[in-house]
Chains A and B, each alone.
Chain A
């Protein structure tokens, strides 16, 4: 099973600041990665798939990058609605797995 590790566990930032979230895979051939946002009491929402492709209606302030074992989600300027938990997910190998999440909260 591919294990995904996310860091940091919590990121405390002000609105308008840049957020950089990391996801590391346990196997180096991981090449299919997505990012999801989950707000309290809501279902997750797909933000980024195929490492760097924004999903439908996702604002341009969200971007994804990386390869091999290290991947990054960047939010260029945090809006109030961006304070949430973010999960990375791989589909290179079944079982598809998620990271434990990074909580972005308001400083």
Chain B
């Protein structure tokens, strides 16, 4: 059974940093691209970043480019999102998103999310 579980969220001041983790099991982690999708409270869904199975290709939305870094530890089956220079508008529930077998884009498994709150 595929399992995806995020951790690392919390309350941080503007300009601060956080590292989100996503522990996975039940599939060959290195064989799948992974991503992060966020949802601000009461709002819709927004793709933040994706990373290839080998980790050699990454994409970021413009609003987080230069501030967020996605990485993965394939032997540990874990995905990360390093977030620096956090802004109030980064406040959201961050979902770890396993991409389908067809590469970047479709999310066939989601975690339950970890809440990031940026506030002074």
Q: Which residues of B from 65 to 107 have beta carbons under 8 Å from A?
A: 95, 100, 102, 104-107
Question: In the complex, given contacts A32-B105, A36-B107, A56-B108, what are 7 additional A-B residue pairs having Cβ atoms less than 8 angstroms apart?
Answer: A43-B110, A44-B107, A46-B108, A87-B45, A89-B106, A95-B61, A96-B47
> Is B56's beta carbon under 8 Å from chain A?
no
Name which of A15-23, A68-76, A98-106 contacts chain B: A98-106
Q: Which residues of A from 57 to 99 have beta carbons under 8 Å from B?
A: 87, 89, 91, 94-99
In the complex, which residues of chain B have a beta carbon less than 8 angstroms from the beta carbon of A45?
A: 110
> Is A25's beta carbon under 8 Å from chain B?
no
> Is A11's beta carbon under 8 Å from chain B?
no
Who on chain B is nearest to A92 by CB? B105
The A contact surface, by secondary structure, is: loop
Asked whether, in the complex, the Cβ of A43 is within 8 Å of the Cβ of B111, the reply is yes
A37 to B62, CA, bound (A): 26
By a beta-carbon cutoff of 8 Å, the part of chain A in contact with chain B is: 32, 34, 36, 43-46, 49-50, 55-56, 87, 89, 91, 94-101
CB distance from B105 to the nearest CB of A (A): 3
A36 to B95, CA, bound (A): 14
Total number of residue pairs linking A and B with CB closer than 8 Å: 51
Asked whether, in the complex, the Cβ of A95 is within 8 Å of the Cβ of B47, the reply is yes
Report how many residues on chain B are interfacial, defined by Cβ distance under 8 Å. 20
In the complex, which residues of chain B have a beta carbon less than 8 angstroms from the beta carbon of A94?
A: 59, 104
The 10 closest A-B pairs by CB, nearest first: A91-B105, A43-B110, A98-B45, A95-B61, A96-B47, A49-B106, A94-B59, A100-B44, A46-B108, A34-B106
Contacts A/B (CB < 8 Å), 12 sampled: A34-B105, A43-B95, A44-B45, A45-B110, A46-B100, A55-B108, A89-B45, A89-B105, A91-B105, A91-B106, A98-B46, A99-B44
In the complex, which residues of chain A have a beta carbon less than 8 angstroms from the beta carbon of B62?
A: 95
Partner of B44, one of A49, A56, A98: A98
